[in-house]
Amino acid sequence: MWMSTPRRRMGPLLSAPCVLLLVLRAVSAATVGNPEDYAADEAERTAGENIVFDDYRGKGCVDDSGFVYKLGERFYPGHSNCPCVCTEDGPVCDQPECPKLHPKCTKVEHNGCCPECKEVKNFCEYRGKTYKILEEFKPSPCEWCRCEPNNEVHCVVSDCAVPECVNPVYEPEQCCPICKNGPNCFAGTTIIPAGIEVKVDDCTICRCHNGDWWKPAQCLRRECLNGQSLS
């Protein structure tokens, strides 16, 4: 004879949507953490949103150092810059036509809008030596020079006359050659003085051309007998 076992009554099963909802609530509760931390983060976020940066557009100008200038105010962006005027569109800076620097300027400063020459070369250099402005000097016996105001040296070379001799010599500190023995010319290989007749040998008399010292002398040869003139 079979005996029946009494059955227990089970409660109703949870549906899938209910289970998912319970899980989400548990996760949310775990992530919320300390309510004080949440309040601090919210305050920091709110403070960041409330930061206001100054905007000077249309109100003024700011230079690289952070100085603020009003509209219409004139200022210098830097020690070597041209002046600027603050406008609604930003700084408007002067761009003048700067004067040309002296070609002999030896010291230039850039402390203003335009470069400025502070020192001009006031001397001349010639062959390794220096001379003052308007100073005259002779670098050689044949040259006469002067240091001009434009720092350039102008020289004049002596124009020597043609010497009236065939054996000119150059003396120290003199530019042009001189005829120490006066005018002369060649009579063959012999040098004879000009202006007189010279007996070159027993039978020959020569004379220089007047003014034409470079020409050989005019010579007159007489008939001779045993080296003696017949005249």
Task: Answer for the pair 152, 139: CB distance below 8 angstroms, yes or no.
Answer: no
pLDDT digits (tens, 9 = 90+) for 69-85: 889 998 887 665 788 89
Grade residue 95 by pLDDT with cuts at 50, 70 and 90.
confident
CATH class name, domain 123-157: mainly beta
Domain with CATH 2.10.70 in the chain: 123-157
pLDDT digits (tens, 9 = 90+) for 28-44: 444 444 555 555 555 55
In the prediction, which pLDDT does 39 show?
Answer: 56
Grade residue 57 by pLDDT with cuts at 50, 70 and 90.
low
Residue 48 has φ and ψ, to the nearest 5°, of -65, -35
In the prediction, which pLDDT does 24 show?
Answer: 45
Q: Which residues contact 90 (CB under 8 A, 6 or more apart)?
A: 61
Give the β-pairing of 153-157 and 143-147: antiparallel
Q: Which of 67-71, 76-80, 89-93, 103-107 has the lowest mean pLDDT?
A: 76-80
Distance of alpha carbon 72 from alpha carbon 187, whole angstroms: 99
Distance of alpha carbon 195 from alpha carbon 182, whole angstroms: 10
| Average pLDDT over the chain, rounded to an integer | 76
Half-sphere exposure of 159 (CA within 13 A, CB side): 0
